[in-house]
Amino acid sequence: MKYRITHRTEYRYGGDVSLGYNEAHLTPRGDMPQQRLLSHRVEVEPTPAYTSRRQDYFGNEIFYFTLQRPHRRLTVTAVSEVERLDEEPELRLESAMTWEQVVAATAADPSDAGMEARKFLLDSPLVEPPPEVVAYATESFSPGRRFSEAVVEFIRRIHRDFTFDTAATSVSTPVAAVFANRRGVCQDFAHLAIAGLRGMGIAARYVSGYLETLPPPGQEKLVGSDASHAWLAVYEPGTGWAEYDPTNDIIPSRQHIVTALGRDYTDISPLRGVVFGGGGSQESSVAVDVERM
């Protein structure tokens, strides 16, 4: 399946901003077995004085740009064309390892993949596993239970026990607060799942990207009705990374488009930067459209 993704971010300032330094994680991954990047461009208004591209520590592409003339509005539009190649999730093979075997094997895996996975066992800025979250996760991991079954149940419980609420959290809300309030958005549910899994010795990483949303029968899809999405991937030695979407209680497939991988949101936020020379108040808006080509 081929998709065109348009991601438009606009900042409006109360006064002139004289300087701006920004970086964006807006380029879909093109190095994954299930995904090919066909084309990508970023348009910035006003025109940047300088732009560059580089890869970060996790292999994601960063687009960097500077603005060096006064402006009261910044618009960043990323347009990407992507082909999703993966098979349907129900056709994927699963191993028979128990979760205890996965924990032990991950800790001792000498392969390059194992060494890479162990980076995602450690705490990160937004994921420091609270004891209550680890205890909550443990309920799904009974002794001797098959690893994949335990993870699926844990993801399903998050979907069942937590309410999607866009007004409940911000990008910096701690996992403990999300757990206590039982409310949040896709980013929060991914962080919550990652915290529980890492607290048990299971490698888990944060995945950002897009999810194609289909309109109700008989209605046209609205431009901008899609949004940035977040989910997680879990490592199993010998099998590799498997993705899970706790917000929707599904295993990601062709409708999930991966932009970046990291420890948590702070590693791969879509757009961030600093401004100098005024600006005053600030308002922002984001519109994302994912359409089939």
- What residue ranges do the domains of the chain occupy? 2-85+269-292, 93-267
Task: Give me the residues paired with residue 229 across strands.
Answer: 209
Mean pLDDT along residues 35-62: 97
Contact at 8 Å (CB) between 116 and 237?
no
Q: Is the pLDDT of residue 117 over 60?
A: yes
How large is the angle between the packed helices 147-161 and 186-198, nearest 10 degrees? 140
3-state secondary structure at position 84: strand
pLDDT, tens only, 214-233: 777 787 776 656 789 999 99
Domain 2-85+269-292 matching CATH 2.60.40.2250: the answer reads yes
Look up the CATH number of domain 93-267: 3.10.620.30
From the list 195, 244, 193, 205, the residue with the least C-alpha distance to 117 is 205
Mean pLDDT of 114-136: 96
Whether the predicted pLDDT of 91 surpasses 50: no
Of 29-43, 102-116, 212-226, the range with the lowest mean pLDDT is 212-226
The confidence score (pLDDT) of residue 266 equals: 96
In this structure, of 79-93, 126-140, 243-257, the range with the lowest mean pLDDT score is 79-93
User: For residue 240, which of 112, 109, 113, 122 has the smallest C-alpha distance?
Assistant: 113
Whether the pLDDT of residue 86 is over 70: the answer is no
Question: What pLDDT was estimated at residue 64?
Answer: 98
> Residue 276: its pLDDT value, please?
86
Q: Inform me whether the pLDDT recorded for 125 exceeds 90.
A: yes
- The reply to whether domains 2-85+269-292 and 93-267 share a CATH topology is no
Largest CA distance in the chain: 62
- Phi/psi zone of residue 184: left (φ > 0), alpha (ψ -120 to 50 degrees), beta? left
Count of all residues that appear for the chain in the document: 293
Query: What share of the chain has pLDDT > 70, as a percent?
Result: 95
Residue 126 has pLDDT above 70, yes or no: yes
Cβ atoms of 224 and 289 closer than 8 Å: yes
Q: Provide the angle, in degrees to the nearest 10, between the axes of the packed helices 99-108 and 147-161.
A: 110
